[in-house]
Amino acid sequence: MIDFRYHLVSIVAVFLALTVGLVLGTTMLQDPLLNTLQSETADLRGQSEELRAERDSSDRLNEGADRLADAVGDDVLEDRLRDVGLVVIGAPGADEDMVASLEERAEAAGADVQGRVSLEDAFVDDGGATFVDELALQVSLTPEDLTGGPYDKAGVELGRALAVGLDEETETPEAPEEGASEGPHEEDVEESARPSDEDDSKGAEAVLAAFEEGGLISVRGNPARSADALLVVAPAGAPEGESEAANTLLTGFTTALSETVGPTVLAGGTEAAGEGGLIARALAEEAPYSTVDVAGRPTGDVVTVLALAGALEGTLGAYGIGEGVSGFLPEPLPGPIASEDPEDPEADASSGEQDEARRSASGEEE
């Protein structure tokens, strides 16, 4: 039978074991354990200092590269966009400073920045697809020909409003060969049958005005019928809320724009190439236009203009430092656009080659 003495002995044994454990923990095991912890802490501190030194070196290198880009950027980019009509498209959330910096760099390369079209938040809001679809059909001259989703249709119609030149059916016919007979006043009839550039521009302005009045875009400058190329600026970060849905809409919209206008570059910062970013989405879908994920600092802005120049020559690529890029910048570098001086036959020949490259880039046929 278990009595009180048994319980007393058990309790004493338990406390004795605890005492021995405390003694062992504070004497025999203390030094090895502390030495191990101190060694690991010292290693981590050393690694942290090495990483900090590498970060500081990278920051200084990037700052030096930016200063170099500022110093020689204009010389590197000279005439790369000579007389190219450029329209900038700002996605919802695009950084205003980045947009302004890219416009300045493009102008330094000789581009004529005709205007800016900023997409409002309402453009990609949930439940707005029906309105976008209806508006695209209302402003279209050939609504029966529009295909795809609402944002594909909107991209086509806005692209037609921005693109330089008349539609194929209203282009100037080829001049008759020398010596060929021509009916009386035939030239005058043909000329009167074509809509004037002014009328065509007014129609394009009406399309832009309809989207602006609908609260979907805001317009600066005079971008109607002025775009030889497009620069689309991605949001500064991943869109809040339904980011995947918004990126899908914007990717389809930009694809429709590029297929309608021609040479197009989607530019943004490194965050736009990260998970949930618009550039990452475009690369995943193998979009038919160039991308740059280092815009927003002088070096990246130079790369963006080179990407535009390459697109005008028919070369597409993904440039920057993110996953899936083809290189940091186009290789080989695109050349300058030659002068159209009629007294310079070499310039005329070069200009003709570049015009052919532009038509190929925009899908036009000879």
Query: 263-301: per-residue pLDDT in tens?
Result: 999 999 999 998 889 999 999 999 999 999 999 999 999
The per-residue pLDDT for 298 is 93
DSSP 168: G
d(CA 74, CA 143): 44
Using pLDDT thresholds of 50, 70 and 90, give the confidence band for residue 308.
very high
**If you search the block for the tokens 């060694």, which residue do you land on?**
39
Q: Which residue has the higher pLDDT, 11 or 131?
A: 131
Structure tokens at 90: 């700002």
For the segment 340-354, the average pLDDT, to the nearest whole number, is 52
Q: Which residue has the higher pLDDT, 42 or 96?
A: 96
Residue of 302, 328, 332, 305 lying closest to 69 (CA atoms): 302
Contact 256, 156 (CB under 8 A): yes
Mean pLDDT of the chain: 81
Residue of 270, 312, 277, 274 lying closest to 295 (CA atoms): 270
DSSP 216: S
d(CA 346, CA 344): 6
